[in-house]
Amino acid sequence: MRLKRLTAWCVALCLSAGLCACTLTGRRTLVLGIYAGSPWLVHESAAYQQIDEAIARFEAAHPTVDVVYESGIRMNDYRQWLNDSVVMGTVPDVFMVPDDLFGQYASLGVLKNLDPYLRQDDDCAEADFFPAAAQSGKYLYSQYALPFMMNPRLMFVNVTLLKEAGLQVPESGWTPEEFVALCQGLTKDRNQDGTADQYGVVDYGWLDLAEAYGLDLFSDDGRDVKLADSDVRRVTELYRSLMAFTGNEAERDMLMEAGRVAFAPMSYAEFVTYNPWPWKVKKYTGFEWICVNLPQVPDRKIRFTGDSIVMAMSATTRQEELAWDLMKEFCSGWQTQTQILENSQGMCALQTGARHLDSFLESSGVSGDTIRSIMNQEGTRVRFARYESAREQLASQMEKVAASQEDLDLALVETEDSIRSYLRS
């Protein structure tokens, strides 16, 4: 295979030269913006193999087109690399967009609106993707990116601790109230020194509980927030109770490895990496554990709360049709998406047959039904320019409210005013 990885100055030359220079030789160049390794801070064994294979399939179908990318950009540096390209006017034709940059880029006009392409293309439709995946590429109500790879959130369950306590392992459909009750029963002072040393849960925050209730806190335009609500009050009261059964977040890994915590949110990427199957990376091996759905209130529209990597088209690209075809190869190409499922630490964005997904996950410690139920969540996630940062601000302030003894109604009013001011600043 012809080398696709270029040095930074070669990529910049392709970007600045544009289409006209490329057509002098009868060939055209598409510049792809990608990162190296896993975006979710777990071991990734095939950083470029899947990318190169997808490029090879695209180039075989487009013999006069070369796809190039700069290699070696780690995820921690990729955000700055993208920001620099926006400032310098050298945005790649097609590029991967992390969650925390998506709303900002869409609002600034960096991304091309893909609605016209989806309407006109019989080979690619929103319905081809899992609903949660399709939502990850929406800004307000339009599609500004196609989903490439997903990272659902699961709940790690220490089965051994539950069996020792004579408690039933939770299944799909367990409620937040049932979750809190289990955490209470599993929090113990095992060495009798007056301090708990086994906990019900670790790393589960106020925002997790709010999502379990399907709360829609922000207005669609991103200028308002609603906290003066009975469900918000209920969530905060329940979370105050849960805090007594929660381990120190800074000790998450230690508590999990020592088998001294019953529950912990765990990303799909972490699950497939540290589960003995299929990656054989030894961790959490001294006890029996599985992953299940996060608890949630029944009959509510629950939003997908995991992470995603989406692929977007530059608003300034001169090669829209080619860029669209390249995006389709990555995001709706069956071979590429199947490889993501089978050979990476991410979950594919494209709908896969139940038999194929079940076969891959067989004996893995999580069921295909669990993954499908998460990926089929249809609660709308209407993202605006400051969506991610607003969620972080809200989570931080509500954690403080829950931890304080301040009058709850007054605290909610003050927090609502504070977040609203942030949104409108």
Same domain as 293, residue 159: yes
Residue 137: the pLDDT is: 94
CA separation (Å) from 165 to 159, 170, 198?
A: 10, 13, 12
Q: State both tokens at 49.
A: 């193999």
Dist CA 219 CA 301 (whole Å):
16
Same domain as 330, residue 270: no
Same domain as 401, residue 325: no
Q: Which three-class secondary structure state does DSSP give residue 292? A: strand
Would you call 142 exposed, middle or buried from its count of C-beta atoms within 10 A (0-12, 13-18, 19+)? middle
Report if residue 172 sits inside a domain.
yes
- Look at the chain and report how many structural domains it folds into: 2
Same domain as 136, residue 216: no
194 sits in the region (left: phi over 0; alpha: psi -120 to 50; else beta) called left
Q: State both tokens at 71.
A: 């290699």
Residue 21: the pLDDT is: 39
pTM of structure: 0.88
Residue 418: the pLDDT is: 97
Same domain as 273, residue 171: yes
- pLDDT tens digits, residue range 296-328? 999 898 989 899 999 999 999 999 999 999 999
Nearest Cα neighbor of 413 from 425, 395, 401 is 401
Nearest Cα neighbor of 417 from 226, 270, 157 is 226
Report if residue 371 sits inside a domain.
no
Report if residue 16 sits inside a domain.
yes
Residue 412: the pLDDT is: 96
Q: State both tokens at 303.
A: 């939003």
Report if residue 381 sits inside a domain.
no
Same domain as 321, residue 228: no
C-alpha angle 80/83/87, rounded to 5°?
135
Query: pLDDT tens track of the chain, all 425 residues?
Result: 334 555 444 554 454 444 443 555 679 999 999 998 778 877 665 557 889 999 999 999 999 999 999 988 988 899 999 999 999 999 999 999 988 899 999 999 999 999 999 999 999 999 999 999 999 999 988 999 999 999 999 999 999 999 999 999 998 889 999 999 999 999 999 888 989 999 999 999 999 999 999 998 999 889 999 998 999 999 999 999 999 999 999 999 999 999 999 999 999 999 988 875 554 566 788 899 999 999 999 989 898 989 999 999 999 999 999 999 999 999 999 999 999 888 888 899 999 777 888 888 877 788 899 999 999 987 677 788 899 899 999 999 999 999 998 999 999 999 999 999 999 99
Same domain as 159, residue 266: yes
Report if residue 380 sits inside a domain.
no
Same domain as 314, residue 271: no
Contact 135, 129 (CB under 8 A): no
- What is the DSSP code (8-state) at residue 194? S
Report if residue 361 sits inside a domain.
no
Nearest Cα neighbor of 263 from 122, 390, 154 is 154
Report if residue 374 sits inside a domain.
no
Residue 3: the pLDDT is: 43
Report if residue 124 sits inside a domain.
yes
Same domain as 79, residue 39: yes
Q: What distance separates the 2 farthest-apart alpha carbons in the chain?
A: 79
Q: Which three-class secondary structure state does DSSP give residue 376? A: coil
Same domain as 136, residue 242: no
Same domain as 47, residue 98: yes
Residue 13: the pLDDT is: 46
Write phi, then psi, for 11 (nearest 5 degrees): -65, -45
**Residue 268, domain CATH:** 3.40.190.10
Look up the domain containing 403 and give its range.
153-303+386-424
Q: Which three-class secondary structure state does DSSP give residue 261? A: strand
Residue 224: the pLDDT is: 96
Q: State both tokens at 27.
A: 């060939």
Q: Which three-class secondary structure state does DSSP give residue 331? A: helix
Strand extents, DSSP E, 159-253: 199-202, 246-247
Residue 1: the pLDDT is: 33
Strands 246-247 and 94-98: unpaired
Same domain as 294, residue 342: no
Residues in CB range of 48: below 8 A, 6 or more apart: 5, 36, 71
Q: State both tokens at 59.
A: 């180039």
